[in-house]
Amino acid sequence: DAGITQSPRHKVTETGTPVTLRCHQTENHRYMYWYRQDPGHGLRLIHYSYGVKDTDKGEVSDGYSVSRSKTEDFLLTLESATSSQTSVYFCAISEARGGYNEQFFGPGTRLTVL
């Protein structure tokens, strides 16, 4: 499982509340990613990080922010949750193998915004 954990694994919250999801990795990988998965849309990249304090936007970044103050932790924050952010969120890391960076996913967080 590439040493990736996510917390919480399930969360139910109300519209307008802030939510922070945590991704933790134990193997010192440089690249970390946050994706959301919705029926009919597959997996879409929200934000990614290429090092401590180095982050960039992905395809669906509106309404989300991220922070990476330590190599092992990548946080995803919904400043004011909306029902459209109900989704399954996956964190991923990138591991260099054979000259290419293979991505491996965490177990996911199911978020419901009521």
Partner 1 sequence: GENVEQHPSTLSVQEGDSAVIKCTYSDSASNYFPWYKQELGKRPQLIIDIRSNVGEKKDQRIAVTLNKTAKHFSLHITETQPEDSAVYFCAAIIHNAGNMLTFGGGTRLMVKP
Binding site for partner 1 (CB under 8 A): 31, 33, 40-45, 48, 50, 56, 58-59, 90, 94, 100-108
Decide whether 64 or 90 has the Cβ nearer to partner 1: 90
- Total H helices, total E strands in the chain: 0, 11
Question: Beta strand 73-78 with 64-70: parallel, antiparallel or unpaired?
Answer: antiparallel
Phi first, then psi, for residue 52 (nearest 5°) are -60, 125
Dist CA 90 CA 107 (whole Å): 7
Minimum CB separation from partner 1 for residue 6, in Å?
Answer: 9
Decide whether 40 or 53 has the Cβ nearer to partner 1: 40
Minimum CB separation from partner 1 for residue 92, in Å?
Answer: 8
